[in-house]
């Protein structure tokens, strides 16, 4: 009786082992994933926007079905709206849409669902033409002009008297440097041990 039970349980055990291995492969190296998350968030905290974007993108690509990989999508959308990183509303909207769609069952515990929805609306507004935006996001169409005056003739160079004064100072400094070098050589010769 025992061998038949064992034979019936073998396919079940194999299926469990396969399913468990798939989860481990998806979760991957937990320490590595958390280290990558910490590096990305540190870069974000220290205003290294491009470095943070690259690290969050790597995290989302390597660990898409983990909590960290999922949250990386939110931060990629957030950083895509940052003017320091050449704001890209289209990219922001795409990342935030993926973030919201992936967490529709709330299995990945996305903590920024409400913020992501607001940021996605903002990205859509920024992509729309100026005339159809909400009142708070209107385009600034004021033209800033500045008048630059160019002098009609170039400024006169230094006068002849100034040039001769500077040459005289340079010659005096050259003479004093030569005198100081000669004195230094005399001191070295005085202090040098004499050979019999």
Q: Is residue 142 part of a domain?
A: no
Range of the domain at 172: 159-196
113 and 61: one domain? yes
114 and 164: one domain? no
115 and 175: one domain? no
Q: Is residue 20 part of a domain?
A: no
67 and 126: one domain? yes
CA angle 174, 178, 180 (to 5 degrees): 115
Of the ranges 6-10, 31-35, 83-87, which one carries the lowest mean pLDDT score?
Answer: 6-10
Q: Is residue 87 part of a domain?
A: yes
35 and 124: one domain? yes
Domain count for the chain: 2
181 and 114: one domain? no
Exposure on the CB side of residue 181, measured as CA atoms within 13 A: 6
Q: Is residue 90 part of a domain?
A: yes
129-175 tens-digit pLDDT: 877 778 777 777 676 777 877 766 555 667 888 888 999 999 999 99
41 and 118: one domain? yes
The confidence score (pLDDT) of residue 171 equals 93
Rounded Cα distance, 64 and 125, in Å = 28
Q: At 185, which helix (H) or strand (E)?
A: helix 160-191
Residue tagged 């469990």 (tokens):
16
Of the ranges 11-15, 23-27, 81-85, 187-191, which one carries the lowest mean pLDDT score?
Answer: 11-15
Q: Is residue 18 part of a domain?
A: no
Global pTM value: 0.54
Rounded Cα distance, 141 and 36, in Å = 42
Integer Rg of the chain from CA: 36
The confidence score (pLDDT) of residue 189 equals 83
Rounded Cα distance, 37 and 43, in Å = 10
- Domain CATH code at residue 105: 1.25.40
37 and 98: one domain? yes
Q: Is residue 84 part of a domain?
A: yes
């Amino acid at each position: 009786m025992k061998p038949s039970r064992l034979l019936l349980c073998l396919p079940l055990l194999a299926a469990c082992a396969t399913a468990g291995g798939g989860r481990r492969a998806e979760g991957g190296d937990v320490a590595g994933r958390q280290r990558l998350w910490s590096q990305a968030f540190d870069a974000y905290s220290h205003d290294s926007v491009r470095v943070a974007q690259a690290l969050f993108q790597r995290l989302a690509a390597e660990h898409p079905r983990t909590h960290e990989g999922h949250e990386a999508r939110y931060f990629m959308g957030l950083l895509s709206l940052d003017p320091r990183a050449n704001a890209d509303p289209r990219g922001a909207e795409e990342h935030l849409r993926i973030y919201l769609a992936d967490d529709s069952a709330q299995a990945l515990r996305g903590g920024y669902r409400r913020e992501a929805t607001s940021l996605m609306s903002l990205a859509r507004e920024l992509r729309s033409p100026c005339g159809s935006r909400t009142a708070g996001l209107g385009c600034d169409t004021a033209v800033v002009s500045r008048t630059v005056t160019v002098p009609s003739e170039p400024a006169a160079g230094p006068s002849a008297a100034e040039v001769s004064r500077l040459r005289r100072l340079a010659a005096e400094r050259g003479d004093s440097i030569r005198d100081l070098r000669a004195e230094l050589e005399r001191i070295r010769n005085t202090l040098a041990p004499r050979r019999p």
